[in-house]
Amino acid sequence: MNKSDSLSTSPKGGPVSDSVDTQRTDIPAVLVLADGRTYRGFGFGATGTTLGEAVFTTGMTGYQETMTDPSYHRQIVVATAPQIGNTGWNDEDGESRGDRIWVAGLVVRDLAHRVSNWRAARTLAEEMEKQGIVGIRGVDTRALVRHLRNHGSMSAGVFSGADAQRDTDELVRIVNEQPSMAGADLAGEVSCAEPYTVEPDGEHRFTVVAFDMGIKTNTPRNFAARGIRTVVVPAGTGFDTISSYSPDGVFVSNGPGDPATADNMVAAVRDVLAAKIPFFGICFGNQILGRALGMETYKLKFGHRGINVPVLDHSTGTVEITAQNHGFALKGEAGVEFDTDFGPAKVTHTCLNDDVVEGVALTNGLAYSVQYHPEAAAGPHDANPLFDRFVELMSTSSTPTEG
């Protein structure tokens, strides 16, 4: 058999399972943390400088979905999995409009230079170079992650090529001069500019208005599979505009930044609750609902990022393994019912690793949210029935809109 006979082919017809990254492998690079610690390695993807907050993700798979998740805007992601790039980059798994990469940079231990996946259209490094994303490989990510766990996520920069040769003190100064993630209002930077609609698969049952705080493409896809027409609107859209769509429900997506800055979104959600429109929120949407109910938020030391985070549902006693990406959380304690302007509410879910609040709800059932990603992509499907719960809530709370 000829070697070419055993090759897989991409959807475009080119052989990919044996494709090799042809980028230079000797480009010097350095990761610089705000506290002065440095990690040297070799650059890949684009060459130059990138700044952001250094965070780590524990996911063993799904780097393409992670990198295209708008929630990672302005974050330099450190992969705890030792080898990244094996499956290359395909044209199906992106989670943002236009498959844009949102991470500020990528830090890996061992970059796979040979792609082995039948869907891959190119290598990870090629896509990063195409989109101008700076990466560094050859870093001792075990030591780096331990440092971030001990000292917390912090401002950082990746400098490659000629930039990596600059004086270390100068690089530390550049890193520390960037804006902090605390107080950052980033949802508007990743949100859509104009509303758009995702039609249901098959018969139309309900219409949901979804606030795009950094929505992943798999969320409207989950709604569509359940007969829901999703009208995606920009972050900060006012309640009058929302009402004009006559929604059966309102949804607030995941997204980046500090929820303490999202006063306009909190006001909009309070209007939704006052109108008794069924509400569902995830991740950033959980923090927005919590604030609308009178709760406060705070910045976690190093956050939750990965696809294996255990969460306890206190209403059922069941444990779900969840996909998460958040650096902020709600202040609260499970089992404590509290009064709000919209009736009693309670903390419904907590993380089994550290007791962080992972879900809140009105006790009347009209509004609920979770801090994790039921749409996964990548990740487990334990929480996917939350979409079915929203359908049931809309079924019992309103008259379905006409198709």
Of 283, 320, 326, 358, the active-site residue reads 283
Asked about 170 being catalytic, the answer comes back as: no
| Tens-digit pLDDT profile for residues 307-347 | 999 999 999 999 999 999 999 999 999 878 999 999 999 99
Residue 287 is assigned to a ligand binding site: yes
Residue 380 pLDDT? 78
Q: What's the pLDDT at 242?
A: 97
283 is catalytic: yes
Please identify which of the residues 73, 147, 349, 373 carries the catalytic annotation.
Answer: 373
Is 4 annotated as a binding-site member? Answer: no
Determine whether the annotation assigns residue 56 to a binding site. Answer: no
Does 284 count as an annotated binding residue?
A: yes
Instruction: Band the pLDDT of 383: cuts 50, 70, 90.
Output: confident
Q: According to the annotation, is 343 in a ligand binding site?
A: no
Which pTM was predicted? 0.91
Residue 373 known to be catalytic: yes
Query: What are the C-alpha distances in Å from 295 to residues 101, 118, 121, 368?
Result: 32, 47, 46, 14
Q: Would the annotation count 255 as a binding residue? A: yes
pLDDT for residue 9 is more than 50:
no
107, pLDDT greater than 50: yes
Q: Which domains does the chain have, with CATH numbers?
A: 8-176 (3.50.30.20), 187-397 (3.40.50.880)
Rounded-to-integer distance, Cα 173 and Cα 177, Å: 6
